[in-house]
Amino acid sequence: MDSQIAKEEIIRLSELIAHYNHQYYIEDKSLISDQEFDELLAALIKLETEFPEYRFPYSPSQKVGGGITKKFSTVKHKYPMLSLGNTYSEEDLKEFDSRILKILADEGIQLNQISYCCELKFDGVAIGIKYENGKMVQAVTRGDGTQGDDVTQNVKTIRSLPLQLMGNNYPEQLEVRGEIILPFAAFNAINRGIEENLLEAGYSQEE
């Protein structure tokens, strides 16, 4: 296959697979069968193997196999990743509200009242994920708030996390911060897989 044609096909397959991943993991829509998805991914990996110069960092193939590492380098956060504060009284909440209004006023934003959006807290692994021109370039844990571990290769394996942002309505540099969590369904599936592997290896459930 011609090199330029291979490059165009790799880009096409990457975008198509990313689209199906988004629909499945974010929109909860299964547009193609598992077999069809696997065939697309296999075709992409085959082309990337033949033309490694076109194996882009944001390729969906980077989500599978061989990327996990336990050796992490330390990265200093551009902005501190602070932990959540606690409050147990109405007075604390009012003081927080006053402090926010003052900060906004200092920035030249005059408001008499602001609205808050509250949600249940997920207790997972705090992470900061950096994108440049829509492409994921780094993932760093909270660590001590000032610096954390570079876990980019490990985070790339998270199927619901886009390596390439969709559309073009995003800043040139973007950092997304949140929590990495393991849902109960995924946790139970992992345990079932371990049990099946042990049974296949000859271990009984009593052992």
Backbone φ and ψ for 202, nearest 5 degrees, come out as 100, 5
The residues assigned a catalytic role are: 121
Cα separation values, 117 from 104, 120, 121, Å: 17, 11, 12
Q: How far apart are CA 86 and CA 7, in angstroms?
A: 52
Alpha helices, DSSP H only, in the chain?
Answer: 3-25, 34-50, 90-106, 152-155, 184-200
Do 204 and 176 touch, CB atoms closer than 8 A?
no
